[in-house]
Every structure is written in structure tokens, then in C-alpha cells.
């Protein structure tokens, strides 16, 4: 069976014209859909993506003004700014053709048409349609990538057995397209692992898109992931591709996937099963090809038992599972991490710091690090800023253990921000960095706790 070269929609009230167009164009392996009633155009283009639309100028008997064609042309362009429309009419008129081109048509063909002219217009139209789609996709990717540029990602540092095991799994799974679920406490480096899998995969030259599911509200979930059409809801001022479309051909990383409400889990499962998304405001499915990597710090087995997470979704996302150990279980990696971050931030802040005192390293190795590697990085950054010599010492670090005891809260002053910070650290430590449990105990939403963690650089 020949490969389809393009999908065409022919709209004309003359049955003979529709039949002639179909017979001729199918010779060149075009898929042709015919329609006599222009009122069905919105429904047709919402359900299927057409490369070129051939549109008659007049649909009412004895009318030759072309106003009907211009009306439907504008409707099509308003619905899909990338649409490629070729106008056809039995009444040749220079003014009418100019008006049609100004309204968004790419060409104007007079009946009876010359086959070569019709074929040339359609071929050029298909190329234009694909170029417009490529430009839109590039703009969407550029916008998303520009938002990610400010994020700092260092390499995965460590030589402990736990880290070696993670590297071993990455090496095996990266070469495949298998979906991966990364488990670990907040701050352990789940996104770094996801990026390393992408970097070593056959999709490494394509886009890596990261989505923090914990920061997405239910109302934004579908719009952000699946995209929307202009006017789909109040603030939808333009057509927008969702993260699945933007990541097409590459890797999509869904962080904190355990936070998705059960009703929305069903929608995500449907997309993964069908390998297509439908933008809000349309009925047209868009095929997608992404490698999915997910991550969570939540106890998924317990969530399944309490019906807070769908088991069938878990089967879809964890073909391979990677568990990242918390920093307190691989204290031997702390010296390597300190050295890495010290060099990184010494360069950033133009400081000549080359070593860390032995007693400081010993103290940092004994600390519990509830915020894991992320907390250690921020601690080293602050220490570099505060350091007045070429060596980091204990006094350069401010650790939570100065401000609280495990059996109760103790603060050094009554500054409300310091008290709040100490309480958050204590509760995070108690819950082993689990954001959801800590937020629940503090009486906060996950989003509110995230904002405070960022504020205090925990």
C-alpha cells in the first residue's frame, strides 16, 4: 500500500467537482475527504488534521460574490492559524482573489482547473503546512527550553555502592525506550538521574522536558500536559502545545507523579495507552512519541492499597524502577559532594577556597541531611559566601542542628522567619524529607511548603 502524501479536505456544493477532485488527487496518493455542506467544516477540522483545504467560494445557488467562501476561510484560519487553504471558484475575479489572499488563502484556482496547476498548489501547500508546524514546534520548544536554562544541574557525584548500583541500572536502561520510575526522598537527585538516562539514550539529541507535577493545579493539568486551543478557556489567548507535544521524539520527565489526583491519573493513563494527546478545545488526537521517566518521593505501594494511586498506571510507568538512597545512608559520598560544590561556588563567587577542614567534614558526615544532596549544596554555597579564608571551617556552616533538638524545638532567637525555618527543618527531618507527609503535619499544602523550602533554600 502506497504511503499517503497528504490529507486533503475538498469543500464544494457541486457533487461532480468533488468526484473529479477525488479521482484525480488519489492517483497521487493523497487521502481525500469530500464535503458539500460548509457548516460541517468546524467539526471536520476539529477531528482531523488536514494538510490542505480546497474551499469553494460560493455555496448558494446563483450567488457569485464569493462572500461565503471568504467567511468560511476566515473561520478556518481563526480555528487553526496554520491552516493551508486553496480557494476554488467558477468566477474569476482579480479583486476577489486579492481579498482571499489577504484573508489567509495561499492560492486561488478557477474552475475548470488545470490539473498541473491544482497539483502544484497542493504540493506547495503541503510543504508550507509542514513548515508552519515545524516553526510552531520549534517556538514551543525554545520557550520551554529557555525556561529551563536557569536551572542548575551538576553531575551525579559519588562512589558508594548505592550510587554505583544506580549507575549500573542507568547503563542498562538508557539504551532502551522502557519507561522508568525513580523513587527517592526529596533532594536526592531524581531529576539528575532522569537527565543522565536521557543523555545516554538514543533520544539524546532530542528534547528533554521536565514537569513538576507537585506544582500543577488540577485546573492546569490538562492544559500544561496536553495543550490547548485559543479560546478553550478564559486565559487561553493563543494556541499552545502541551508538554507531551513539546517532548515529542525526546524524553518527558514527570516529577512528583504521586501527587496526581486519581481522576487525572485516568487521563494520563489514556494518553500513555493511546500514544496520542488531544488539546483542550479540540477533538483531534495528535500522535506522540515520548520516552517517559517519572519520579516520586511518596510510598506508591501504600497509595495503591488506599486507592490513591492506580495500579494500572503504575504498571505503565515502571517498566524499570530505580531507587535512590538518601544521603544519610551514603555518608561516604559527602566529602566528594562537598569538594564538588565548594569548587563550583568558589568559581561562581570569585573566591580562592581550596580545602575543607577535617573536623568540618567529620561534622557534616554526622549530620542527618533531611533535605539530602540539595540541602548539602545550599549549605556549601552559604559557607563559601561566608568564608573569609582559603579553607571552609565549621563556623562557615549553619546547620539545623544548631537550631533544634530531635526531641523538641529549640531556637536561638524569636525572629519569626528563623522559627518557621527551624520548624520546617525539624518536621522535614522527622518525615525523612517526604514533602507530602511534612506538609500534612505542618498544616500546609504541598505548594505552600515548596514555596517556603525555596524561600529558605532548604
181 and 317 belong to one structural domain: yes
Q: Which of 341, 299, 342 has its CA nearest to residue 323?
A: 299
Total of domains in the chain: 3
169 and 272 belong to one structural domain: yes
Residue finishing a domain among 310, 325, 340: 325
Residue 412: what pLDDT? 54
Residue 165: what pLDDT? 94
Return d(Cα 228, Cα 186) in angstroms, integer.
31
Grid cell in block for residue 349: 563567587
Reduced DSSP (H G I as helix, E B as strand, rest coil) percent helix, strand, coil of the chain, to 5: 50, 15, 35
Distance of CA 356 to the CA centre of its chain: 40
Residue 417: what pLDDT? 75
pLDDT along the chain (458 residues), means of 10: 81 89 90 91 88 87 72 89 87 75 86 88 89 75 54 67 93 95 93 93 91 83 88 79 92 93 92 93 91 94 91 95 94 93 92 90 88 91 91 82 44 68 81 78 80 77
Residue 198: what pLDDT? 93
Residue finishing a domain among 295, 325, 355: 325
Distance of CA 127 to the CA centre of its chain: 28
Domain for residue 146, yes or no? Answer: no
CATH number for the domain that contains residue 73: 3.40.50.2300
- Judge whether 187 and 433 are in contact, CB under 8 Å: yes
Tell me the sheet residues that pair with 453: none
Domain range enclosing 412: 331-455
107 and 213 belong to one structural domain: no
12 and 54 belong to one structural domain: yes
298 and 416 belong to one structural domain: no
Could you report how far apart the first and last alpha carbons of the chain are, in Å? 60
CATH number for the domain that contains residue 440: 1.10.8.60
172 and 319 belong to one structural domain: yes
Residue finishing a domain among 87, 111, 132: 132
Return d(Cα 240, Cα 226) in angstroms, integer.
9
105 and 243 belong to one structural domain: no
339 and 308 belong to one structural domain: no
411 and 441 belong to one structural domain: yes
Grid cell in block for residue 430: 522527622
302 and 383 belong to one structural domain: no
367 and 406 belong to one structural domain: yes
Angle at 268 between CA 263 and CA 274, to 5 degrees: 130
Amino acid at each position: 500500500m502506497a504511503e499517503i502524501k497528504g490529507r486533503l479536505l475538498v469543500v464544494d456544493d457541486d457533487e461532480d467537482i468533488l468526484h473529479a477532485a477525488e479521482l484525480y488527487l488519489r492517483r497521487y496518493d493523497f487521502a481525500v475527504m469530500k464535503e458539500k455542506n460548509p457548516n460541517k467544516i468546524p467539526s471536520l477540522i476539529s477531528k482531523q488534521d488536514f494538510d490542505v483545504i480546497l474551499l469553494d467560494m460560493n455555496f448558494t445557488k446563483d450567488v457569485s460574490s464569493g462572500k461565503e467562501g471568504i467567511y468560511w476561510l476566515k473561520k478556518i484560519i481563526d480555528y487553526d492559524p496554520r491552516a493551508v487553504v486553496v480557494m476554488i471558484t467558477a468566477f474569476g475575479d482579480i479583486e476577489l482573489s486579492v481579498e482571499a489572499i489577504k484573508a489567509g488563502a495561499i492560492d486561488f484556482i478557477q474552475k475548470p482547473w488545470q490539473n498541473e496547476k491544482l497539483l502544484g498548489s497542493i504540493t506547495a501547500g503541503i510543504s508550507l503546512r509542514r513548515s508552519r508546524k515545524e516553526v510552531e514546534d520549534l517556538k514551543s520548544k525554545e520557550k520551554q527550553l529557555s525556561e529551563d536554562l536557569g536551572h542548575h544541574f551538576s553531575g551525579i557525584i559519588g562512589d558508594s555502592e548505592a550510587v554505583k548500583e544506580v549507575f549500573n541500572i542507568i547503563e542498562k536502561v538508557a539504551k532502551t525506550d522502557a519507561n522508568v520510575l525513580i523513587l527517592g526522598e526529596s533532594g536526592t537527585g531524581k531529576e539528575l538521574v532522569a537527565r543522565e538516562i536521557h543523555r545516554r539514550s538514543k533520544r539524546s539529541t532530542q528534547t528533554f522536558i521536565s514537569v513538576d507535577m507537585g506544582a500543577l493545579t488540577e485546573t492546569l493539568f490538562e492544559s500544561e500536559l496536553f495543550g490547548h486551543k485559543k479560546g478553550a478557556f478564559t486565559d487561553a489567548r493563543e494556541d499552545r502545545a502541551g508538554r507531551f507535544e513539546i517532548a515529542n521524539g525526546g524524553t518527558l520527565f514527570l516529577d512528583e507523579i504521586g501527587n496526581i489526583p486519581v481522576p487525572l491519573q485516568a487521563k494520563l493513563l489514556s494518553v500513555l495507552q493511546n500514544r496520542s494527546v488531544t488539546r483542550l478545545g479540540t477533538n483531534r488526537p495528535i500522535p506522540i512519541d515520548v520516552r517517559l521517566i517519572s519520579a516520586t518521593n511518596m510510598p506508591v505501594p501504600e497509595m495503591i492499597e488506599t486507592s490513591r494511586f492506580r495500579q494500572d498506571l503504575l504498571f505503565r510507568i515502571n517498566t524499570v524502577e530505580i531507587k535512590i538512597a538518601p544521603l544519610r545512608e551514603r555518608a561516604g559520598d559527602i566529602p566528594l559532594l562537598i569538594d564538588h560544590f565548594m569548587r563550583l561556588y568558589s568559581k561562581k563567587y570569585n573566591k580562592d577556597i581550596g580545602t575543607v577542614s577535617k573536623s568540618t567534614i567529620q561534622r557534616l558526615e554526622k549530620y542527618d541531611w533531611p533535605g539530602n544532596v540539595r540541602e548539602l549544596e545550599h549549605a556549601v554555597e552559604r559557607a563559601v559566601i561566608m568564608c573569609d579564608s582559603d579553607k571552609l571551617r565549621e563556623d562557615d556552616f549553619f546547620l539545623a542542628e544548631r537550631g533544634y533538638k530531635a526531641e523538641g524545638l529549640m531556637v536561638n532567637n524569636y525572629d519569626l522567619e528563623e522559627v518557621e525555618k527551624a520548624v520546617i527543618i525539624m518536621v522535614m527531618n522527622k518525615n525523612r524529607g517526604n514533602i507530602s507527609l511534612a506538609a500534612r503535619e505542618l498544616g500546609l499544602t504541598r505548594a505552600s511548603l515548596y514555596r517556603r523550602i525555596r524561600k529558605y533554600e532548604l
